[in-house]
Amino acid sequence: MKFREKISQPLEFSADLLVIPECESFEKWRNSQYKEKISQFLWFGDNPNKGLGVMALNSQYKLEVHPAYSEEFKYIIPLKVTGPEEFNLIAYTHC
């Protein structure tokens, strides 16, 4: 939890995408110095302190929830990723 205070570590790897279980909602990031480094942020959950965050850190990549997503499997999120590489990504957490 409080990933906004720990994001500096994964940023060192210059990742294009991050999937973070137990991540707080983006509204909690309003005072984070790293907010500007995230080009797109998708969040799934009921508790604003603990959900599933999926972030694009490279503006070349766009994230979209895949049409196959089902509320029945709330924390298994199929995503379409478009950009220099196009692929499907499954984000999962046990929240």
The amino acid sitting at 16 is D
Say how far apart CA 55 and CA 87 lie, in whole Å: 15
Instruction: Give the pTM.
Output: 0.87
Q: Which helix (H) or strand (E) covers residue 11, if one does? A: helix 8-11
Which whole number is the average pLDDT over 29-50?
87
- pLDDT for 89 beyond 90: yes
42 vs 33, residue with greater confidence: 42
Say how far apart CA 88 and CA 82 lie, in whole Å: 9
The amino acid sitting at 82 is T
Which residue ranges make up each domain of the chain? Answer: 3-92
